[in-house]
Amino acid sequence: MFNKILIANRGEIAVRILRACRELGIRAVAVFSEVDRKALQVRLADEAYAIGPGPSRESYLRIDNVIDVARRSGCDAIHPGYGFLAENAAFPRACTDAGLTFIGPSADAMEALGSKTAGRQLARRSDVPTVPGANNPIENPDDAQALAQNMGYPVLLKAVAGGGGKGMRVVTRDPEFASAWRDASSEALNAFGDARLYLEKYLEKPRHVEIQILADAHGRVVSLGERECSVQRRHQKVIEEAPSLAITPELRKKMGDAAVRLARAGGYVNAGTVEFLVDAHLNFYFLEVNTRLQVEHPVTEQVTGLDLVKLQIAIAAGHRLPFAWETITPRGHAMEVRLYAEDPENSFFPSPGKICSLHAPSGPGIRLDEGVYEGWTVPMDYDPLLSKLIAWGNSREETIARLRRALEEYTITGIKTNAGLFRRILTEPDFLRGEIHTKWLDEMLQRSPSAASTKENANANRAGDAAAIAAAVWQANHSEKSSGRSSSSQDSGQRSRWKEEGRRRQLDRLL
């Protein structure tokens, strides 16, 4: 096993990996940018080192800086987490060259499966169903438009190096094609430095279902079952759950077999996810492979009882998987919501700033993977993910009830979050019945919010106002006590006691 692991990431995933290292008795090294100097992973790590300024391209994306810290601190392995360098094939190669173990797949496997185009080609050679479309990137928009006309609209333009909905456009008719191509390629170039696109048939309202796989270096590849990821906003996952209500035991076996077959064909080792689209007739189609740990991995952990991060570390250290696919029996139901520092009432704009207060939920079946704390300032520089709230129950109904209760307990002031959006989703009849698809949330958001949601938002605003007034009252009292001056008429006038009393009364009304 390793002696010291560098965690090449930040936020909640860095804290998650750090905790696994602590339980395994492995020293954990954190890295941080200038704006993350007081981040939670820095506070909890055994050692922490600066790697550059705030912009990720000058810090978390600098392979040379990360490798240099790993060498200087005496690490023997690096865990990339997700995002940043996690799916950059140059990173595992640099680790190998430096004599470090990369906790993830090899560079060759990453290139064979991580690229959408290469993954699609390998899937077809491995007899894994794929969505009809072009096998290779299309350089000429006129050729792409001709293929779209031949296939029939709607079609989907997707960035070759894409992810998170970037460089993706749905085209429903011929006159839209040129502008959609231009926008998708421009967005792909800005986001990934690669403007190439490919085209596929657009499936109407499919479900997004993914299979979690683990593979060791001794030839064992297992499926840990599926996760339902259909609740998405603009192609970005918002809620994940396991198991999926739509998947029958027979379909689960077929999808698991396809995922394992694909992983074997690509020489894959470590944790990965094979993503599929499932249509209304339960036909499934390969979408892509995520050659890393997924944001939503906790829901699989909750229903299987496995620690995927510890298993990643063990696999990278050369250990065999201690179980076969047939021995895994998922139990109960798990669901995860992603809590972001963003304002759903203002087009989901990021909401950076200082966290004035934070109360974390707890109780039966509740887990919170977080990377923030009270008093910390959320920076503007990175993805606004704060925490992941996960609930487990014996049934989906119990899980939803626990998640609702946990969201009611979760309070944070100083910044906006999307917690209210989840409270609304968890009351929607379609969601409660499991009748969801990848466009369901976008359609729900176009509808007017329910009366209950409006009341909830008002209550949230009142709570924020109350916190601000309480802070003002505390500050006034604190200033009075720390000044050490007598309460002369002149001092009283400066402190404006009538204003203090007004604040207190307003606070009483709000509370």
Report angle CA 248, 254, 256 to the nearest 5 degrees.
100
Report angle CA 307, 372, 460 to the nearest 5 degrees.
115
Residues 6+ positions from 451 with CB-CB distance below 8 Å: none
Beta strand spans in 184-253 (E): 197-201, 207-215, 221-233, 236-242
Phi-psi region of 353 (alpha: psi -120 to 50; beta: other; left: phi over 0): left
Token readout for 503 is: 């604040």
Picking from 150, 149, 148, the residue whose alpha carbon sits closest to that of residue 158 is 148
Q: How far apart are CA 157 and CA 276, in angstroms?
A: 17
Alpha helices in 410-496 (DSSP H): 419-425, 429-433, 440-446, 451-483, 489-495
Residue 447 is among the residues annotated as catalytic for this protein: no
Contacts of residues 245-252 at CB distance under 8 Å and 24 or more positions apart, as own/partner, are: 245/396, 245/434, 246/207, 246/209, 246/278, 246/282, 246/434, 247/209, 247/278, 248/282, 251/278, 251/282, 251/284, 252/225, 252/226
Q: How far apart are CA 156 and CA 282, in angstroms?
A: 20
Q: Say which residue the tokens 């680790």 belong to.
A: 95
β-pair partners for 194: none
User: Please, are residues 388 and 369 in contact by the beta-carbon 8 Å criterion?
Assistant: yes
DSSP state of 381: S
Q: Catalytic residue, from 292, 402, 423, 424: name it.
A: 292
User: Please, are residues 24 and 310 in contact by the beta-carbon 8 Å criterion?
Assistant: yes
Q: How far apart are CA 97 and CA 342, in angstroms?
A: 40
The continuous run of DSSP H or E covering 30 comes out as strand 27-33
Q: How far apart are CA 474 and CA 496, in angstroms?
A: 14
Residues 6+ positions from 5 with CB-CB distance below 8 Å: 17, 21, 26, 27, 28, 29, 75, 76, 77, 78, 79, 103, 313
Residue 267 backbone dihedrals phi, psi, to 5 degrees: 60, 40
Token readout for 422 is: 């989840």
Picking from 396, 406, 391, the residue whose alpha carbon sits closest to that of residue 435 is 396
Q: Are strands 168-171 and 101-102 parallel, antiparallel or unpaired?
A: unpaired
Positions marked catalytic: 292
